[in-house]
C-alpha cells in the first residue's frame, strides 16, 4: 500500500498550556491514503473538529494544545512545524472546507479575490494567469457564469454556490489532503447531494485524500471508503464502510446506528375520529419591503396553505429552507400575523382577533423552538421559566412551581432541577425543559419547529420517544416542522410537503413518503443521504425488503 497522506498517531490534545489538563483528544490514530475518503463520525463533543483543526495547525492558541503523539502530512511532522511552515503547507498540501458556507467567506470581499488570495500567497503567477486558473477551477466546481460570480460578493450567492466557492478555494492548488468539516450540514438535502457528488468527482480527478467529518450516518453511507467512529476524544472503531455499517463491533457504534431514524415510515396508526383541534384555511403571508421611492418588493412566504390536525395526532410540515414551513408555524401560533386566510384553534377563529382577545387562546397552542441553547432565558431558573406561563394565566406561584416539578418529571428530568439554570443542562435536557415549558399551559396543540434538528441522533431519538409518549398520555396534537424526512417518517401521521411557500403534496406519512406523487417530493426523498441503508438493522434497504418478501 502507498504511504498515507495523513498519518495521525496517538494524538493527544489537552486544555491549557500546562500538561495534565483535561484531554479533549486522547490518543487517536488514523491514516488517510491517496484517493481515499475517511469519514470521521461522532456526536457533538467527540473531538472530531479538534482533530481536523489540529491537523491544519488552526487550534486556538493557548487554549487547546497538542501534548502528545504525531500528525504527519506526507511524511512531514505538523505538530512541531513553525508557523511559517504551516502557512506554506496550508492550501498547497492540505486544505479545509467548513460547515457554514454562509459565514465562512468574508462578506466584504468579492469571492474571486478571495480565491485569488490563495494564489497570491503561494504562487508567483501573474494576474492574468491567476485569473485563468481561478475561472478554470470555478468551472470544475460547476459554477454557472463564472465571470459574473468571480466579481460577486458572497451575499449574492446561494449556500450551495458559496460552498462550491469554498471547495474551489481549497482545491485550486491541488492539495494532497482535503479536510471537510461537516461541509453539507448547513445545506438542503438536494444541494447536499450535489456537493457530495462534486467532492467525489474532484477527488477522483485529482487523487485527493479526503478526511470527511460528519455526524450524519446518511452522509457517511454516501461518501465514505472507511469510517472512524469517535466518542469523547477516543477512537471507538475504525473499518471499511460496509464492515462498520453491517457488523459494528462496538456497543457505541451499534447504538449510534440504531438511533438513526429510518426513512421507512412507521406503521400507520388507525384513522382518527377525534375532533379537529387545529385548522388552517388558505393561510398566506406576504412580506412587503417598502422602498423610499419606487415600488417595493413582495415576498410570498406562505401561499394558501390549508391543513387540519386532529386531537392526539402528529402532522408534519416538511420542506427545505425557504419553503415557508416555519412561517406557517409562526402564523398559526400568531407570533406573526398572517396576511390572509384563517386559523381555527379548537373551533375558534384566531387569525384576525386582536392580541388582547387572543390572550385566552394562546394557552391552547404552545411552541418549542429549534435551538435549545437560545430559547431559554439564561438568567431565569428552569422552574421560573416553566411556571411563568401558568402564573400569567392566574395560577398561584406555589401551584405553578409544584406543576413545574411534575412536568420536569414527566419529561424525564429530576424535580429538583427547578432551581437550576439552563447552562447547567445539556442540549437534549434543555429541549426537554422547553417541552415542559410548553406543556405547562395544558395546550391542545404543541408546535415543534425543528425541535430535534440541533440534537445528536441518540438524543434526538430520546426526544422523539418523549414526544410520542407525551402524546399517548395527554392526547395532545403535534404540529411538527422539520427538514429531515427521516424524522418525519418516524413521528408523523400525516405530512405536508412545502416548496416556495406552497403545499406541494399532503397525505398520510406512509403514503407520501413511500409513494410520492409529486416530482418535488420524489426529488427530496431521492436526495436523502444514505437512503439505501437501513442503519438500525445493519443492512441495505433492498436486503431488508428481500428478506421480508
How would you classify the pairing of strands 314-318 and 477-482? Answer: parallel
Cα–Cα distance for residue pair 51/33, rounded to 1 Å? 17
Residue (87 or 420) nearer to another protein, CB = 87
Shortest distance in whole angstroms from residue 105 CB to another protein? 6
Report the residue number, 59 or 276, with the smaller CB distance to another protein.
59
- Binding-site ranges for another protein (CB under 8 A): 56, 58, 62, 86-92, 95-96, 98, 100, 103-109, 117-118, 121-122, 153, 155, 166, 169, 292-293
Residue closer to another protein, measured from CB, 131 or 531: 131
Q: How far is the CB of 74 from another protein (least distance, A)?
A: 16
Minimum CB separation of residue 172 from another protein in Å reads: 10
CB of 433 to another protein, least distance (A): 28
Residue 200 C-beta: closest distance to another protein, Å: 22
Backbone angles phi, psi at 517, to 5 degrees: -90, -30
Minimum distance of another protein from residue 294's CB (angstroms): 10
Question: Buried (b) or exposed (e) across 468-493, using 16+ Cβ within 10 A?
Answer: eebbeeeebbbbbbbbbbbbbbbbbb
Q: How many helices (H) and strands (E) does the chain have?
A: 20, 22
User: If DSSP codes are grouped into helix, strand and coil, which group holds residue 246?
Assistant: helix
Burial class (CB in 10 A: 0-12, 13-18, 19+), 296: exposed
What spatial distance separates the first Cα and last Cα of the chain, rounded to whole Å? 42
DSSP H or E segment with residue 404: helix 397-410
Smallest separation, CB 306 to another protein (Å): 37
Question: Which among 204, 102, 82 is positioned nearest to 160, based on CA atoms?
Answer: 102
Asked if residue 250 lies in contact with residue 236, where contact means CB atoms within 8 angstroms, the answer is yes
Residue placing its CB nearer to another protein in the complex, 115 or 479: 115
Nearer CB in complex with another protein: 52/351: 52
CB 510 within 8 A of CB 229: no
Residue 162 or 403 having the CB closest to another protein = 162
Nearer to another protein, 37 or 99 (CB): 99
Q: How far is the CB of 373 from another protein (least distance, A)?
A: 16
The nearer residue to another protein, 90 or 334, going by C-beta atoms, is 90
User: Which residue spans within 333-471 are E strands per DSSP?
Assistant: 340-345, 348-349, 365-368, 445-449
For the bound state, the minimum distance from the C-beta of residue 103 to another protein, rounded and expressed in Å, comes to 4
Nearer to another protein, 103 or 255 (CB): 103
Q: In this structure, what DSSP letter does residue 322 have?
A: T
Q: Which is nearer to another protein, 131 or 532 (CB)?
A: 131
Spatial separation of the C-alpha atoms in residues 3 and 76, rounded to whole Å: 12
To another protein, the closest distance from the beta carbon of 16 in angstroms equals: 13
Q: Which is nearer to another protein, 290 or 356 (CB)?
A: 290
Q: Could you give the CA distance from residue 283 to residue 322 in angstroms, rounded to a whole number?
A: 16
Q: Per the structure block, which three cell numbers stand in for 318? A: 416538511
Strand order in the sheet with 37-41: 94-97, 177-181, 209-214, 37-41, 226-231, 234-240
The alpha-helical segments, DSSP class H, found in 111-250 are 111-122, 127-140, 146-150, 159-171, 189-206, 217-223, 241-246
Judged by CB, which is closer to another protein: 270, or 298?
A: 298
Tell me the torsion sign for CA atoms 489, 491, 493, 494.
Answer: negative
How many Cα atoms within 13 Å fall on the side-chain side of residue 30?
Answer: 33
Cell numbers for 411, please give them: 419529561
CB of 71 to another protein, least distance (A): 16
Q: Whose Cβ is closer to another protein: residue 75's or residue 293's?
A: 293
Residue tagged 411534575 (cell numbers): 406
Please report how close the Cβ of residue 195 comes to another protein at its closest, in angstroms: 17
Taking Cα atoms as reference points, which of 521, 340, 388, 364 lies closest to residue 447?
364
Whether residue 285 contacts residue 326, with contact meaning beta carbons closer than 8 Å, is answered with: no
Q: Is 327 within 8 Å of 299 (Cβ atoms)? A: no
For residue 100, the minimal CB distance to another protein (Å) is: 6
Residue found under cell 474532484 = 202
Amino acid at each position: 500500500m502507498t504511504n498515507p497522506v495523513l498519518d495521525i498517531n496517538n494524538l493527544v490534545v489537552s486544555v491549557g498550556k500546562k500538561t495534565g489538563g483535561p484531554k479533549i483528544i486522547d490518543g487517536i490514530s488514523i491514516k488517510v491514503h491517496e484517493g481515499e475518503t475517511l469519514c470521521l463520525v461522532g456526536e457533538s463533543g467527540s473531538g472530531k473538529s479538534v482533530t481536523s483543526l489540529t491537523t491544519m495547525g488552526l487550534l486556538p492558541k493557548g487554549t487547546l494544545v497538542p501534548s502528545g503523539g504525531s500528525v504527519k502530512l506526507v511524511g512531514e511532522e505538523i505538530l512541531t512545524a513553525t508557523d511559517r511552515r504551516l502557512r506554506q503547507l496550508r492550501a498547497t498540501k492540505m486544505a479545509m472546507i467548513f460547515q457554514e458556507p454562509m459565514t465562512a467567506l468574508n462578506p466584504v470581499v468579492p469571492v474571486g479575490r478571495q480565491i485569488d488570495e490563495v494564489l497570491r500567497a503561494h504562487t508567483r503567477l501573474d494576474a492574468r494567469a491567476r485569473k485563468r486558473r481561478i475561472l478554470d477551477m470555478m468551472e470544475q466546481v460547476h459554477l454557472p457564469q463564472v465571470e459574473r460570480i468571480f466579481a460577486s460578493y458572497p451575499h449574492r450567492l446561494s449556500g450551495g454556490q458559496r460552498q462550491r466557492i469554498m471547495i474551489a478555494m481549497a482545491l485550486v492548488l491541488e492539495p494532497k489532503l482535503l479536510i471537510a468539516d461537516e461541509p453539507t450540514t448547513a445545506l438542503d438535502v438536494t444541494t447536499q447531494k450535489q456537493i457530495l457528488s462534486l467532492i467525489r468527482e474532484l477527488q477522483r480527478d485529482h487523487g485527493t485524500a479526503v478526511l470527511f467529518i460528519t455526524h450524519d450516518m446518511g452522509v457517511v453511507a454516501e461518501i465514505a471508503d472507511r469510517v472512524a467512529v469517535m466518542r469523547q476524544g477516543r477512537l471507538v472503531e475504525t473499518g471499511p464502510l460496509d464492515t462498520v455499517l453491517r457488523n459494528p463491533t462496538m456497543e457505541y457504534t451499534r447504538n449510534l446506528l440504531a438511533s438513526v431514524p429510518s426513512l421507512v415510515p412507521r406503521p400507520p396508526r388507525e384513522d382518527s375520529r377525534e375532533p379537529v383541534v387545529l385548522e388552517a384555511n388558505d393561510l398566506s403571508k406576504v412580506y412587503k419591503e417598502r422602498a423610499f421611492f419606487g415600488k417595493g418588493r413582495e415576498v410570498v412566504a406562505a401561499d394558501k396553505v390549508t391543513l387540519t390536525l386532529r386531537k392526539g395526532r402528529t402532522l408534519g410540515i416538511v420542506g427545505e429552507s425557504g419553503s415557508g414551513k416555519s412561517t406557517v408555524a409562526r402564523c398559526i401560533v400568531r407570533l406573526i400575523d398572517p396576511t390572509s386566510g384563517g386559523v381555527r384553534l379548537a373551533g375558534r377563529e384566531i387569525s384576525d382577533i386582536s392580541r388582547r382577545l387572543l390572550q385566552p387562546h394562546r394557552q391552547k397552542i404552545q411552541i418549542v423552538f429549534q435551538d435549545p441553547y437560545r430559547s431559554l432565558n439564561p438568567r431565569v431558573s428552569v422552574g421560573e421559566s416553566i411556571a411563568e406561563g401558568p402564573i400569567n394565566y392566574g395560577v398561584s406561584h406555589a401551584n405553578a412551581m409544584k406543576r413545574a416539578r411534575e412536568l420536569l418529571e414527566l419529561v424525564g428530568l429530576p424535580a429538583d432541577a427547578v432551581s437550576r439554570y439552563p447552562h447547567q443542562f445539556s442540549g437534549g435536557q434543555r429541549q426537554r425543559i422547553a417541552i415542559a415549558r410548553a406543556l405547562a399551559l395544558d395546550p391542545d396543540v404543541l408546535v415543534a419547529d425543528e425541535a430535534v434538528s440541533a440534537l445528536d441522533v441518540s438524543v434526538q431519538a430520546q426526544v422523539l420517544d418523549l414526544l410520542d409518549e407525551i402524546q399517548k398520555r395527554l392526547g395532545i396534537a403535534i404540529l411538527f416542522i422539520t427538514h429531515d424526512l427521516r424524522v418525519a417518517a418516524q413521528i408523523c401521521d400525516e405530512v405536508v410537503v412545502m416548496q416556495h411557500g406552497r403545499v406541494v403534496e399532503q397525505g398520510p406519512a406512509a403514503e407520501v413518503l413511500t409513494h410520492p406523487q409529486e416530482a418535488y417530493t420524489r426529488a427530496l426523498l431521492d436526495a436523502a443521504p444514505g437512503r439505501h441503508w437501513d442503519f438500525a438493522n445493519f443492512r441495505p434497504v433492498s436486503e431488508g425488503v428481500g428478506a421480508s418478501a
